[in-house]
């Protein structure tokens, strides 16, 4: 452990960035409410901001180390590392309604954790590179985010007890993402992602303040029932997701397509915690000039997945995608209500379907995607039209190679 934090591996930079991040988060929280009253929010915000700063600092440190070892221009593709900075936004505005899952935002940083790098030594220390298959790429990630849920009728106070309750969730997520090249004869790529989220559900997620300020900015009606939102509850949740790229073209005798232009990807996942507990299965098809990554994702069903640090086949990638995901839900705090205290709740549906379609493009180190999601009813008294449960998701990423 001492070697991982040694100054020559960027330890001083990491500590400095962490201190700056915690200080900035404390100042922001003091402007909204007493810090003592929002301990869980302070942990989520402070640690998250600190680690985002640490990602930036460690990337600079690792780039410096790489240059010292032989110069960036002389590195082989397999020795390259990268940092990926991502902004994600989701809103039901794209579906023409305002209610249910109404808004989600996140900022994230993912850093290569290959052997010999600062984070790579941490991964090796905890034995996180020892799986059934040896990963070809390992990435560690951190993100801070907020999710917001409201009932359909924002003008009711108290809200309709047959509709979902008001709820907000503020969190910091810490991820381990890995890519495996051809782990099996029929699999071209396998992507695996773990993410641990810590945070708070309730008033100290500041979802009410965010929605009120934004609705005032766009001159839209405010939610009148936020006084009845879920109560404060510390949150701890573990997420896992996997994506496999199958060798479909080879199996169908269409080798000319390869996986650079068309692929079919089964994906699976699970979550365990007091926020969400579920298992999921799905499949997605992509068509176009395809990058070597797992594709776009939505915020509250999986973590950030890795991008290859090797040379991409093409500097420009453009593609369309579509698919379906099925989730079997054991627990959803945004519908079931608080775990340890009485609160508003509704009877959830055990099986929930998501249909997704969208497009994405990547130009060198810049990536953009849009995903539209149509979701089936999440609770038993919701409107039967799944189109009214939709939302749009935007993702913007910048990749810094070193």
Question: 117-138: per-residue pLDDT in tens?
Answer: 666 666 666 666 666 567 777 8
Q: What is the pLDDT of residues 39-79, one digit of tens each?
A: 444 555 555 555 555 555 555 555 555 555 554 444 444 44
Angle at 133 between CA 129 and CA 137, to 5 degrees: 55
For 232, the token pair is: 């404060």
> Residue 394: pLDDT band by 50, 70, 90 thresholds?
very high
For the full predicted model, state whether its pTM sits above 0.85.
Answer: no
Sequence-ordered list of residues with C-beta below 8 angstroms from that of 369, at least 6 positions apart, any chain = 295, 296, 358, 359, 360, 361, 393, 394, 395
Exposed / middle / buried, residue 58 (Cβ in 10 Å: 0-12, 13-18, 19+)? buried
The pLDDT of residue 387 is above 50: no
Cα within 13 Å of Cα(30), Cβ side: 6
Q: Give the sign of the dihedral formed by CA 152, CA 158, CA 160, CA 165.
A: positive
Separation of alpha carbons 206 and 200, rounded Å: 10
Instruction: Give rounded-to-5 percent helix, strand, coil for the chain.
Output: 30, 40, 30
> Residue 116: pLDDT band by 50, 70, 90 thresholds?
low
Q: What is the CA radius of gyration of the chain?
A: 22
10 Å Cβ neighbour count for 57?
21
**φ, ψ at 136 (rounded to 5°):** -90, -25
> Domains plus CATH for the chain?
7-401 (2.40.128.140)
**Worst-scoring range by mean pLDDT, 18-27, 97-106, 150-159, 301-310?**
18-27
pLDDT for res 225: 92
DSSP H or E segment with residue 103: strand 100-112
Separation of alpha carbons 233 and 65, rounded Å: 42
For 259, the token pair is: 């996986």
CA distances from 300 to 34, 303, 391 (A): 28, 8, 13
Separation of alpha carbons 381 and 17, rounded Å: 48
Sequence-ordered list of residues with C-beta below 8 angstroms from that of 337, at least 6 positions apart, any chain = 165, 230, 343, 344, 345
Mean pLDDT of 276-291: 92
What is residue 96's DSSP assignment? T
In the chain, DSSP finds a helix count (H) and a strand count (E) of 7, 12
């Amino acid at each position: 452990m001492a070697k991982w934090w040694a100054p020559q591996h960027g330890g001083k930079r990491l500590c400095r960035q962490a201190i700056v991040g915690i200080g900035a988060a404390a100042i922001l929280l003091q402007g909204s409410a007493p810090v003592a009253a929002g301990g869980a929010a302070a942990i989520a915000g402070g640690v998250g901001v600190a680690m985002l700063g640490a990602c930036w600092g460690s990337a600079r440190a690792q780039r410096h180390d790489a240059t010292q070892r032989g110069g960036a221009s002389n590195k082989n593709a397999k020795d390259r590392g990268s940092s990926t900075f991502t902004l994600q936004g989701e809103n039901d505005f794209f579906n023409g309604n305002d209610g249910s899952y109404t808004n989600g935002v996140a900022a994230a940083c993912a850093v290569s954790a290959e052997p010999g790098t600062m984070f790579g030594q941490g991964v090796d220390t905890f034995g996180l590179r020892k799986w059934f298959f040896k990963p070809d790429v390992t990435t560690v990630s951190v993100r801070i985010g907020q999710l917001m849920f409201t009932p359909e009728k924002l003008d009711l106070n108290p809200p309709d007890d047959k509709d979902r309750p008001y709820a907000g969730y503020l969190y910091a997520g810490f991820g381990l993402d890995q890519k495996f090249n051809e782990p099996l004869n029929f699999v071209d790529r396998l992507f695996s992602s773990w993410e641990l989220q810590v945070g708070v559900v309730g008033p100290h997620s500041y979802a009410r303040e965010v929605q009120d300020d934004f609705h005032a900015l766009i001159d839209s009606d405010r939610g009148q029932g936020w006084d009845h939102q879920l109560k404060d509850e510390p949150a701890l949740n573990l997420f896992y997701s996997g994506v496999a790229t199958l060798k479909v073209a080879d199996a169908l005798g269409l080798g000319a397509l390869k996986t650079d232009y068309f692929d079919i990807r089964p994906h699976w996942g699970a979550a365990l915690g007091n926020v969400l507990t579920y298992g999921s299965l799905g499949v997605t098809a992509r068509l176009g000039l395809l990058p070597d990554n797992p594709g776009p994702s939505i915020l509250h069903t999986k973590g950030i997945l890795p991008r290859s640090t090797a040379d991409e086949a093409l500097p420009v990638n453009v593609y369309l995608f579509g698919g379906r995901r099925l989730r079997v839900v054991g627990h959803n705090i945004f519908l079931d209500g608080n775990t340890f205290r009485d609160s508003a709740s509704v009877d959830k549906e055990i099986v929930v379907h998501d249909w997704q379609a969208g497009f994405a493009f990547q130009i060198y180190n810049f990536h953009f995607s849009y995903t539209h999601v149509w979701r089936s009813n999440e609770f038993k008294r919701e409107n039967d039209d799944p189109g009214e449960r939709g939302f749009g998701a935007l993702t913007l990423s910048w990749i810094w190679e070193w």
